[in-house]
Structure 1
Amino acid sequence: MTSIAPLVHSWTFEAIGTVWRIDAASPLDDGVRDQITDAIVAFDLEWSRFRAESLVSRLRTEGGEVPAPVDAVAMLDAYDALDTATAGAVNPLVGDALARRGYDADYSLVDRGVVSAPRNWRDLLVWSPETLSLAEPALIDVGALGKGRLADIVLELVPAGPAVVDAGGDITVRAATQRIALEHPYDASRAIGVWSVTDAALCASAVNRRAWGDGLHHVLDARTGQPVRRYAATWAAASDAMTADAVATALFFDGGPRLAAEWGAEWVRMGTDGSVEWSPRCEAELFS
């Protein structure tokens, strides 16, 4: 990514299985870095299905009711809208389906068969500002928007002024402009376009990331437990990264464009046949 703002101080580190980079106009002191590290660890301990000690892992084993994480209402309300927009294709209880296909806590990448997510998930999963409960054990997965939410949290901890948080391709920009390449899903050395983002977030999702076996990847249709086949990559720009991340996930399904319009997001998506679609007001510069 190329900065058009005086973001001369960078910090790169690894967390939650990806590489992060924070660019800022002034150095991030040890206190700020500690706050950011602590926030990422806390989020992971609540929402990671890859950690045995996490809140969602305990709920999978025991079910029941626990104090709600601070992000529960924002994220699960968004999942409610995602489920409605995609006719059930995006579902926060898709975790067991992903694990069965091989994207499990051990990263076994061994397909143990197809299982769909429970369609009555709203009857099983109940949330409020105070509590989060599961009527029976199930595995919550917030992969459709969790990394975007965490990128927003991290940006809030960066001192005021121009800054960019890049959470492994989920990018949120404050008081600056970034020109961001849209990576070709089948050739990382190429881009299908460039998108200039100012005071907003741009999130991407692609089937070539976290892919394994015979055509398996991390974007499943929760209704069937099967990986999506029609679209190869999506990009969405919105006022915050959680919204952009959620829309990027929804765009793998027919209801994605409608949800993007309702939420004020712009988008680009590329089909597995190489075709490219974009929203009416999209400002990305797309190449032939």
Structure 2
Amino acid sequence: MSALPPCVSWDFEAIGVPWRVDTAAAVDEADRHRILTVMREFDRDWSRFRDDSSVARLAAGEGAVRAPRDTLAMLDTLAAAADATGDAVTPLAGDALQAIGYDAALTLRAGPPRPAPGWREVLSWSEDRIELARPAVLDVGSLGKGRLVDLVFAELSGLRGPVAVDGSGDLRTRGVTERIGLEHPYDRHRVVGVWEIRDAALCASATNRRAWGDGLHHVIDGRTGRPVDTVVATWAVGEDAMHADAVATALFFDGGPRLAHEWGVQWVRMTSDGRVDYSPGCTAQLYTR
């Protein structure tokens, strides 16, 4: 992302990826500590890559866990994305991802595809609890990083002046215009367009990221357990990063554009044959039109 003029940048790593916060004035030590605590708690609650998380306890058969503070926001949004895509997006994508090698140990050794279990039959949640009728792997990867961007952004709400939070490509801004290149999924040295955003969030997803083996990557169809192969990259701009992130995932499937329209999210997506589609009224400057 482009720098704020003038700005102070804070670069750090969390949940396994680089982050950058740009602000008009330095983020003090107390605010940094609070932000990092929020991020550690989020990882402890939702990561399927650590054995002490709430997700891991449910997968191990605990049956019910205390609901983290983000439960209603994230799982309600995930349920809406599942409804829109006919369960191609699913809260229980973890089993299918593990089957193709994207597991807690990152073995990246693929076995036979495993469709995700029907989440409506086994998963329930409330403000207080998350329950699973049988062990399964909850996965919030389709919107989790966007949600965390929003949480960090909220912690900076008291700062005066422009703010930009960049969680490795999931970006939210206030008081500054950011000009963002839309990276070509087949050539990282090219872009398919440029999108300017202000007081908004942009999230992206692509099949060339977190990819391994022959055609294996992290964007899977929960109904089949197989990685998608028709859409290769998506970009979504909305008021907050969680909904933009969810739409960026849903756009890999039929129903994604309708969901974006319902939530007021603009979008661009590129298919495997090189075509680029975009939403009505999309403000991105696309070089492939």
Q: Kindly state the Cα deviation for residue 175 of structure 1 after the two structures are TM-superposed.
A: 1.7
| Residue 250 (structure 1) aligns with | 250
Decide which of 143, 153, 156 is 2:154's aligned counterpart.
Answer: 156
| Residue 118 (structure 1) aligns with | 117
- Asked if 2 retains the 8 angstrom alpha-carbon contact of 1:7 and 1:23, the reply is no
| Residue 170 (structure 1) aligns with | 170
| Residue 130 (structure 2) aligns with | 132
**Inter-CA distance 7–56: structure 2 relative to 1 (3 Å threshold):** farther
SS in 2 for 1:2: coil
- TM-score of the two chains, using structure 1 as the length reference: 0.97
User: 1:1-288 to 2 correspondence within 5 Å?
Assistant: 1-3=1-3, 5-119=4-118, 121-158=119-156, 159-160=158-159, 161-288=161-288
Q: How many angstroms apart in 1 are the aligned matches of 2:186 and 2:6?
A: 31
- Asked if 2 retains the 8 angstrom alpha-carbon contact of 1:73 and 1:127, the reply is yes
AA matched with 1:40: M
- Asked if 2 retains the 8 angstrom alpha-carbon contact of 1:63 and 1:138, the reply is no
Q: How many angstroms apart in 1 are the aligned matches of 2:123 and 2:31?
A: 35
AA matched with 1:128: S
SS in 1 for 2:56: helix
Q: How many angstroms apart in 2 are the aligned matches of 1:77 and 1:42?
A: 20
Q: How many angstroms apart in 2 are the aligned matches of 1:275 and 1:224?
A: 25
Q: How many angstroms apart in 1 are the aligned matches of 2:6 and 2:24?
A: 4
Q: How many angstroms apart in 2 are the aligned matches of 1:229 and 1:131?
A: 36
Q: Kindly state the Cα deviation for residue 7 of structure 1 after the two structures are TM-superposed.
A: 4.7
Q: How many angstroms apart in 2 are the aligned matches of 1:109 and 1:172?
A: 31
SS in 2 for 1:62: coil
AA matched with 1:66: V
Q: How many angstroms apart in 1 are the aligned matches of 2:238 and 2:60?
A: 36
Q: Kindly state the Cα deviation for residue 79 of structure 1 after the two structures are TM-superposed.
A: 1.1
- TM-score of the two chains, using structure 2 as the length reference: 0.97
Q: Bigger CA drift: 62-71 or 103-112?
A: 62-71
AA matched with 2:169: G
What's the % identity of the aligned pairs?
Answer: 56
Deviations 1:43-71, CA, capped at 9 Å, x for gaps: 00000000111110011002312211110
Q: How many angstroms apart in 2 are the aligned matches of 1:71 and 1:37?
A: 16
| Unpaired runs of at least 5, structure 2 | none
Q: How many angstroms apart in 1 are the aligned matches of 2:252 and 2:167?
A: 21
Q: How many angstroms apart in 2 are the aligned matches of 1:282 and 1:47?
A: 33
**Inter-CA distance 25–105: structure 2 relative to 1 (3 Å threshold):** same
- Asked if 2 retains the 8 angstrom alpha-carbon contact of 1:7 and 1:162, the reply is no
RMSD: 1.0
Q: How many angstroms apart in 2 are the aligned matches of 1:109 and 1:23?
A: 35
AA matched with 1:117: A
Q: How many angstroms apart in 1 are the aligned matches of 2:82 and 2:138?
A: 14
Deviations 1:115-151, CA, capped at 9 Å, x for gaps: 10012x1221111111111111110000000000000
- Asked if 2 retains the 8 angstrom alpha-carbon contact of 1:230 and 1:271, the reply is yes
Q: How many angstroms apart in 1 are the aligned matches of 2:168 and 2:132?
A: 31
